[in-house]
Amino acid sequence: MIEPIFASWKHVFKLDPDREINDEALDAVCMSGTDAIMVGGSSGVTFDNTVDLLSRIRRYEVPCALEVTSEEAAVPGFDYYLIPMVLNSRDPQWLVGRQVEAIRQFGSYIPWENTFAEGYIILNADAEAARRSDADARLDDLSVLAYVRLADRLMRMPIVYLEYSGRFGNMGLVRRARSLLTQGRLFYGGGIDSAEKAGEAAAAADTVIVGNIIYSDLAAALKTVQAVKQREN
Ligand SMILES: CC(C)=CCC/C(C)=C/CC/C(C)=C/CC/C(C)=C/CC/C(C)=C/CC/C(C)=C/CC/C(C)=C/COP(=O)(O)OP(=O)(O)O
Ligand SMILES: O=P(O)(O)OC[C@@H](O)CO
Ligand SMILES: [Mg+2]
């Protein structure tokens, strides 16, 4: 089997179409040396604000993936499509329900060879994504690791995403999760706001996602790229 391109991604910036970013900041993000830009957000993502952001990112060579969080915002023209499936949601609509509706709707327009499932395990109960998807985020470590094995061993998911959006997570747990994976790649995101935290996360996960800090401290966000790339894990 050919390895998917994201197997080489160590650092990814996540840009939210619902938030403002000026041209200078976008230039810095796209030219930072990050491996990819992921476009997505848990609320306020529309067709128009997604097209707008994509067209601005397309001035650069950096690969660009859409994390599809609503059917209305499934915009053509991205390099990759990542489909969140919230494994620890209490409501099956966020595990498979909305995805089935979207597959019915888009049918043969879905570029399957560039479309991948993300097995989300949301671990910050205060995150907007946890509220929206009704995630059971207060899991003990053994349960988290059981979800990781479920995603990797039973479901053969290509991406297992430990999501702490807005809060820096437990790197010991992230490291243990990664050590269990046999075929999937461990994505970690949440609360990375310095080179130091980026380095710690890079030592624990396969791929590190940096989001909110782009909007509050761009200089700190940019420093995370080198911190991740320097780290051998
Ligand atoms: C040609 C063409 C039209 C191409 C597109 C075809 C295509 C690939 C269609 C998509 C098919 C498909 C199966 C789509 C699924 C649609 C869908 C509704 C999926 C459900 C997504 C989901 C589970 C959402 C719940 C919320 C969640 C888990 C979001 C994940 C992302 C996330 C955590 C973002 C962080 O958000 P942020 O706003 O930054 O949060 P903070 O406030 O905490 O910072
Ligand atoms: O925004 P932050 O907290 O950096 O989290 C990144 C990403 O995992 C959000 O989906
Ligand atoms: Mg965010």
Give yes or no for residue 106 CB within 6 A of ligand 1: yes
For residue 161, CA distances in Å to 104, 202, 215 come to: 25, 14, 22
State residue 5's pLDDT score. 86
State residue 145's pLDDT score. 98
Mean pLDDT of 151-162: 98
Ligand approaching nearest to the C-alpha of 205: 2
| Residue bearing the CA closest to ligand 2, atom 9 | 165
CA-closest candidate to residue 175, choices 166, 188, 163, 165:
188
Looking from the CA of residue 163, the nearest atom of ligand 2 is: 8
Neighbours of ion ligand 3 (CB under 5 A): 211-212
Residue 14 · residue 190 · CB < 8 Å: no
| Residue bearing the CA closest to ligand 1, atom 24 | 69
**164 backbone dihedrals φ, ψ, rounded to 5°:** -115, 20
Is 4 a domain residue?
A: no
State residue 177's pLDDT score. 98
Give the residue with greater pLDDT, 78 vs 4: 78
Looking from the CA of residue 166, the nearest atom of ligand 2 is: 3
CA-closest candidate to residue 42, choices 134, 129, 152, 124:
129
- How many whole angstroms from 53 Cα to the centroid of ligand 1? 15
Decide if pLDDT at 102 tops 90: yes
State residue 95's pLDDT score. 98
CATH code: domain of residue 163 = 3.20.20.390
State residue 4's pLDDT score. 83
- Number of structural domains found in the chain: 1
DSSP character at residue 89:
B
In whole angstroms, what is the distance from residue 147 CA to residue 126 CA? Answer: 20
Is 65 a domain residue?
A: yes
- To the nearest whole percent, how much of the chain has pLDDT over 90? 96
**pLDDT tens for residues 17-55?**
999 999 999 999 999 999 999 999 999 999 999 999 999
> Does the annotation place 161 within a ligand binding site?
yes
State residue 72's pLDDT score. 94
Give yes or no for residue 211 CB within 6 A of ligand 1: yes
Residue 160 · residue 173 · CB < 8 Å: no
Decide if pLDDT at 233 tops 90: no
CA-closest candidate to residue 184, choices 92, 232, 118:
118
Mean pLDDT of 96-114: 97
Is 150 a domain residue?
A: yes
Give yes or no for residue 164 CB within 6 A of ligand 1: no
For the range 59-62, what are the long-range contacts, defined as Cβ-Cβ under 8 Å and sequence gap of 24 or more?
59/30, 60/27, 60/30, 60/31, 62/30, 62/31, 62/34, 62/36, 62/37
Interface confidence, given as ipTM, is 0.95
Decide if pLDDT at 217 tops 70: yes
Decide if pLDDT at 107 tops 80: yes
| Residue bearing the CA closest to ligand 2, atom 8 | 189
- Residues in CB range of 19: below 8 A, 6 or more apart: 41, 215
Is 115 a domain residue?
A: yes
Give yes or no for residue 67 CB within 6 A of ligand 1: yes
For residue 182, CA distances in Å to 85, 114, 121, 157 come to: 19, 21, 17, 10
Domain that holds residue 116: 9-229
Looking from the CA of residue 94, the nearest atom of ligand 1 is: 23
Is 2 a domain residue?
A: no
pTM for the model: 0.97
pLDDT category, 2, cuts 50, 70, 90? Answer: low
Q: Which amino acid is at 112?
A: W
Mean pLDDT of 155-179: 98
Number of helices followed by number of strands (H, E) in the chain = 9, 8
| Residue bearing the CA closest to ligand 1, atom 34 | 41
Looking from the CA of residue 212, the nearest atom of ligand 2 is: 1
| Residue bearing the CA closest to ligand 1, atom 21 | 69
Give yes or no for residue 32 CB within 6 A of ligand 1: no
Mean pLDDT score across all residues of the chain: 97
Neighbouring-strand partners of residue 81: 66, 115
Decide if pLDDT at 1 tops 70: no
Distance of CA 37 to the CA centre of its chain: 10
Looking from the CA of residue 110, the nearest atom of ligand 1 is: 6
